[in-house]
Amino acid sequence: MTRIVFSGGRVFTGRASEPGDVVVEGDRIVDVGIGLDGDTRVDATGHTILPGLFDCHVHFMFSGADLVRSLNTPFSLPFYEAIGNMKATLQCGITTVRDALGADLGVAEAVRRGLVQGPRMQIAVNMVSQTGGHNDDWMQCGAHISPPLHPGLPDTVADGPEELRKVIRTLVRHGADIIKIASSGGVMSPRSNPRHAHFRDEEIAMIVQEANAAGIAVMSHAMSGDGILTAVRNGVRSIEHGVFLTDEGVEEMLKNGTWLVPTLMAPRMVLDQAAAGTAISDVILDKARSVVAQHTLSFQKAHQAGVKIAMGTDSGVGPHGDNLNELTLMVEYGMTPAEALHATTTSAADLMRLGNDLGELAPGKLADLVLVEGDAEQHVKAGTLKQAVRGVYQNGVTVG
């Protein structure tokens, strides 16, 4: 088996970058150190070698927030658009993701079987919502405006523990690797309020119980303070967004070991598209504007308190391939560049329960590597990390 050595660069250890070489055989890293040899040499002089990066919150089947465009898009076209979305994400160095709504088992299997290029993924299939909640697409005119349900995408609007038990089992049947719920309203939904909690304790307890029985975790879209608390005290693994996080919510997250996936980019992507001329309703724009400042404060509160944080973007709400902008926002609002990279590698792997194989450059791990020209931490701070990526390797194979 060919022994490939990435030599002469600096290796990101999870907390800092140090001089070192990385040796790969097949799809695994076999050695990390100084002065290593191999059959083939990749010159990493002047470069930082990062582990494959993670994005813990994407939507490959979505290509922006333009509702009018979506309504005029043929049903099958988003599946083809997803091919480009996945490739753009992979090429910026993100080799593993959670798709938080939209990608069905066929999309995931297309990547797993090598039919198309993309990050390895865990899929939620669809988001579980209460009637009138963040995934209930009913409009005031009486129409439903989300992409139509199909055999791979079951209906997941439900109320009460027993309806929810059936929904969770149905999602597992459809190939869900993670259960996604909405324990509050959101920005992009037409009739929900981000400040209002959704689902009661007994409902989320049932969801978590059924997910645990299937050996998978629960992630919760949770913006409101009460919605965060209800999700955390009933055992969800991660809070997505966490916009109106309270001191009590922070205490509960620390006590339960709950993760935060902040997605600082999410409301900003909506506002950027509106500024560029995308037709977005005033209701949604008002909600996006109202959450940005509080979103930042809640991220800072969580970080300062020591809440576990993993990187996620909500890409799909905005462009795919710009995911690394999230790291720069995390640094702007209090993280060091090394902490942001840790949140995008080791921490994210731990959140997704993939730490045995991914998240670090260490012997025995899968050979996902990103070659960055110059100092990766400085690029994170400056917002130039994407432009500095010179090579992406997944399972030891270079990404074209």
CA atoms of 237 and 169, how far apart (whole Å): 18
- DSSP per-residue letters across 250-312: HHHHHHHT-EEE--THHHHHHHHHHHTT----HHHHHHHHHHHHHHHHHHHHHHHHT-EE---
pLDDT of residue 137: 81
What would the mean pLDDT of 78-107 be, rounded to a whole number?
Answer: 98
pLDDT of residue 67: 75
DSSP 68: H
Residue 281 banded pLDDT, cuts 50, 70, 90: confident
Q: All domains of the chain, ordered by start, with CATH?
A: 3-51+358-398 (2.30.40.10), 53-323 (3.20.20.140)
pLDDT of residue 146: 67
pLDDT of residue 143: 64
Count of CB atoms situated within 10 Å of the CB of 364: 10
**Nearest Cα to Cα of residue 188 among 100, 284, 69:** 284
pLDDT of residue 261: 98
> Lowest-pLDDT range, 8-22, 240-254, 278-292, 311-325?
278-292
CA atoms of 185 and 183, how far apart (whole Å): 7
Tens of pLDDT, residue by residue over 123-157, are: 999 999 999 899 988 666 766 676 678 999 999 99
Residues 6+ apart with CB under 8 A from 339: 330
CB 111 within 8 A of CB 99: no
**Nearest Cα to Cα of residue 187 among 104, 345, 295:** 295
Residue 255 banded pLDDT, cuts 50, 70, 90: very high
What would the mean pLDDT of 191-218 be, rounded to a whole number?
Answer: 96
Residue 65 banded pLDDT, cuts 50, 70, 90: confident
CA torsion through residues 121, 126, 130, 136, sign:
positive
Q: Please count the CA atoms within 13 angstroms of the CA of 366 that sit on its side-chain side.
A: 18
- Averaged pLDDT score across all residues of the chain: 95
> Lowest-pLDDT range, 228-242, 269-283, 364-378?
269-283
The pLDDT > 70 percentage for the chain reads 98
pLDDT of residue 138: 65
What would the mean pLDDT of 11-15 be, rounded to a whole number?
Answer: 94
- 3-state class (DSSP) for residue 57: strand
Query: pTM of the predicted model, to two decimals?
Result: 0.95
Residue 26 banded pLDDT, cuts 50, 70, 90: very high
